[in-house]
């Protein structure tokens, strides 16, 4: 009897569990989804929206899709549009939901700020279907906004945060990107200014100077410049007639920037001209604007002129020496999985194994700090550059006293040799670079070691070093 009672109890529990799962949980999800669909103002795919018209009390702006994710402002005049911002607006427009219905049929839309509306949103799809919604005042709590579908008298509430997405002016919808490109796609960079003429190219994900003298560039410094160019934002647009001004400064720019991007090396060209406070209209003596730390700029790919701030300009005013990699050799530690060291004491081959450095074919355990000391030495800043060196024998580089080769698989990431002692260190040169460098003596000491300096000391089973006899 006890077994039968337990079985009945189990059946009841299973039935209750099934009910709880299928009705309360799964059914609840379906009911919630159905409620959400019922509250949607319309069923619309954001990707189908071809045109958006936004009318506020002060302006009307029309935009049209020109690609899957690209947009163009078509009114009040043709301008570049903020694609990311408009894609966000399209998604919001396709997914407007009612929070609650206030009146199903009213003849007094003005009472809710809907006649005239605060914002009038019109949508047109690729198939020619049109949608229209009006937004009015906020409710007493400020959390919701009154709205109505165009041509109807039903007043309902939508979240104020949703309504705010459509309260945009022309300035809000314009493309504020200074150049707008993917930083990782940059292939070359040129910076021309009164300070210097800097030309850099990317080779195997590393940046090098371009010209008579080839040297490795400081990747972090180059990345900082590219980040400013690719993510920098326009501060103001210059919508006046350029012909009304005596000089815009583009004939003698503060800085001229050229970046090639992608496999096809498309050119991005930015010219920064005169400071805003120096702009003067023809026939006038006083500047047209009071000082503002802004500079007039032009992206050669578009017509509209704009202003960028001084900090952005300062980030581009670089000399070649500012962008030079001061390290003895340019490489990334995580790329290196083998080190070949040759000096007067012999040749040693280190390879990575399970995160540790091992020596030779016998894979002897090494002293981690000693092996990494080689990499430390190569990353240390040099004391001096000799950019127009004499012949290699002048520095003992024809018969080097040490050579270090860093590899990733079979690819050489860096190779350099050490020569004679210099007054303040020791001469060194990296393969592929014209300059001779003076490294400090401490760096050389870290590579001028024998096998015994790198092999880990043997230990007893108890973990202590064996006693000396």
Mean pLDDT on 65-87: 94
Residues 114 and 245 in one domain: no
| Residue 321 pLDDT greater than 70, yes or no | yes
Residues 133 and 219 in one domain: no
| Residue 281 pLDDT greater than 60, yes or no | yes
Q: How confident is the model at residue 77 (pLDDT cuts 50, 70, 90)?
A: very high
Strand partners, 134: 120, 148
215 lies in some domain: yes
Which range, of 4-18, 60-74, 141-155, 340-354, averages the lowest pLDDT?
4-18
Which range, of 185-189, 441-445, 462-466, averages the lowest pLDDT?
462-466
pLDDT at residue number 27: 52
pLDDT at residue number 3: 54
SS3 12: helix
57 lies in some domain: yes
Record the pTM.
Answer: 0.76
Mean pLDDT on 186-192: 97
Mean pLDDT on 176-200: 95
Mean pLDDT of the chain: 90
Residues 345 and 422 in one domain: yes
Q: How confident is the model at residue 60 (pLDDT cuts 50, 70, 90)?
A: very high
Mean pLDDT on 54-61: 93
- d(C-alpha 382, C-alpha 375), whole Å: 14
Instruction: Give the other-Cβ count within 10 Å of 116's Cβ.
Output: 12
Q: What is the pLDDT of residues 261-274, one digit of tens each?
A: 999 999 999 999 99
Residues 345 and 283 in one domain: no
Q: How confident is the model at residue 19 (pLDDT cuts 50, 70, 90)?
A: low
Q: Does residue 76 have a cis bond before it (omega within 30 degrees)?
A: yes
Q: How confident is the model at residue 214 (pLDDT cuts 50, 70, 90)?
A: confident
Residues 117 and 221 in one domain: no
Residues 63 and 193 in one domain: no
464 lies in some domain: no
Residues 188 and 307 in one domain: yes
34 lies in some domain: no
| Boundaries of domain holding 354 | 333-454
Phi first, then psi: what are they for 380, rounded to 5°?
Answer: -70, 140
pLDDT at residue number 35: 52
8-state DSSP, 456: P
| Residue 428 pLDDT greater than 90, yes or no | yes
Please give the residue that has the higher pLDDT: either 89 or 433: 89
Residues 276 and 392 in one domain: no
pLDDT at residue number 22: 57
pLDDT at residue number 462: 40
243 lies in some domain: yes
| Residue 128 pLDDT greater than 80, yes or no | yes
9 lies in some domain: no
468 lies in some domain: no
Mean pLDDT on 322-347: 94
Residues 187 and 317 in one domain: yes
Q: How confident is the model at residue 285 (pLDDT cuts 50, 70, 90)?
A: confident
- d(C-alpha 275, C-alpha 286), whole Å: 14
List the 60-65 sheet strands across, edge first.
Answer: 79-80, 71-75, 60-65, 49-56, 119-125, 130-138, 144-149, 155-159, 100-103
- d(C-alpha 274, C-alpha 296), whole Å: 6
| Domain end point (choices 135, 150, 173) | 173
Q: How far is CA 152 from the centre of its chain?
A: 46
17 lies in some domain: no
8-state DSSP, 466: P
For the chain, what is the domain count? 3
| Domain end point (choices 147, 173, 199) | 173
- d(C-alpha 80, C-alpha 67), whole Å: 13
Q: How confident is the model at residue 152 (pLDDT cuts 50, 70, 90)?
A: very high
Q: Does residue 332 have a cis bond before it (omega within 30 degrees)?
A: no
| Domain end point (choices 323, 345, 368) | 323
Q: How confident is the model at residue 183 (pLDDT cuts 50, 70, 90)?
A: very high
pLDDT at residue number 13: 65
Half-sphere exposure for 89 (CA within 13 Å, toward CB): 29
SS3 246: coil
Residues 192 and 169 in one domain: no
Residues 291 and 416 in one domain: no
> Among 105, 102, 90, 98, which residue's Cα sits nearest to residue 35?
98
Q: How confident is the model at residue 180 (pLDDT cuts 50, 70, 90)?
A: confident
Residues 319 and 373 in one domain: no
Q: What is the pLDDT of residues 355-386, one digit of tens each?
A: 899 999 999 999 999 999 999 999 999 999 99
Q: How confident is the model at residue 188 (pLDDT cuts 50, 70, 90)?
A: very high
Which range, of 19-28, 101-110, 159-168, 311-320, averages the lowest pLDDT?
19-28
């Amino acid at each position: 009897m006890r077994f039968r009672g337990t079985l009945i109890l189990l059946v009841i529990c299973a039935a209750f569990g099934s009910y709880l799962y299928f009705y309360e949980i799964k059914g609840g999800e379906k009911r919630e989804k159905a409620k959400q669909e019922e509250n949607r103002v319309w069923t619309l795919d954001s990707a189908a929206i071809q045109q958006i018209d936004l009318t506020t009390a002060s302006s009307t702006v029309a935009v049209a899709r020109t690609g899957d994710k690209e947009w163009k402002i078509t009114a009040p005049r043709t301008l570049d549009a903020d694609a990311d911002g408009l894609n966000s607006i399209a998604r919001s427009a396709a997914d407007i939901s009612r929070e609650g219905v206030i009146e199903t049929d009213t003849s007094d839309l003005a009472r809710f700020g809907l006649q005239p509306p605060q914002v009038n949103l019109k949508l047109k799809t690729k198939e020619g279907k049109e949608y229209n919604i009006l937004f009015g005042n906020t409710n007493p709590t400020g959390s919701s906004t009154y709205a109505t579908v165009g041509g109807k008298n039903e007043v309902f509430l939508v979240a104020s945060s949703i309504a705010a997405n459509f309260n945009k002016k022309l300035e809000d919808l314009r493309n504020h990107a200074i150049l707008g490109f993917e930083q990782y796609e940059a292939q070359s960079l040129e910076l021309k200014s009164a300070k210097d003429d800097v030309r850099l190219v990317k080779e195997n994900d590393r940046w090098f100077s371009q010209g008579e003298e080839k040297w490795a560039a400081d990747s972090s410094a180059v990345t900082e410049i590219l980040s400013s160019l690719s993510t920098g934002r326009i501060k103001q647009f210059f919508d006046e007639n350029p012909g009304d001004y005596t000089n815009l400064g583009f004939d003698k720019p503060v800085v001229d920037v050229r970046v090639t991007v992608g496999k096809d090396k498309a050119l991005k060209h930015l010219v920064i001209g005169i400071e805003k406070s120096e702009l003067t209209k023809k026939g006038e003596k006083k500047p047209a604007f009071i000082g503002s730390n802004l500079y007039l700029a032009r992206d050669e790919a578009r017509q509209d002129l704009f202003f960028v701030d001084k900090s952005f300009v300062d980030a581009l005013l670089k000399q070649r020496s500012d962008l030079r990699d001061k390290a003895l050799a340019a490489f990334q530690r995580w790329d290196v999985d083998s080190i070949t060291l040759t000096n007067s004491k012999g040749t040693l081959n280190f390879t990575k194994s399970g995160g540790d450095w091992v020596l030779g074919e016998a894979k002897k355990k090494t002293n981690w700090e000693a092996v990494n000391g080689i990499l430390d030495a190569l990353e240390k800043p040099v004391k001096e550059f000799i950019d127009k060196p004499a012949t290699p024998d002048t520095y003992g580089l024809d018969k080097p006293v040490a050579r270090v080769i860093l590899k990733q698989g079979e690819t050489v990431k860096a190779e350099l040799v050490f020569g004679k002692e210099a007054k303040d260190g020791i001469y060194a040169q990296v393969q592929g670079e014209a300059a001779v460098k003076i490294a400090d003596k401490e760096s050389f000491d870290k590579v001028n070691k024998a096998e015994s300096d790198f092999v880990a000391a043997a230990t007893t089973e108890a973990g202590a070093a064996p006693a000396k006899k």
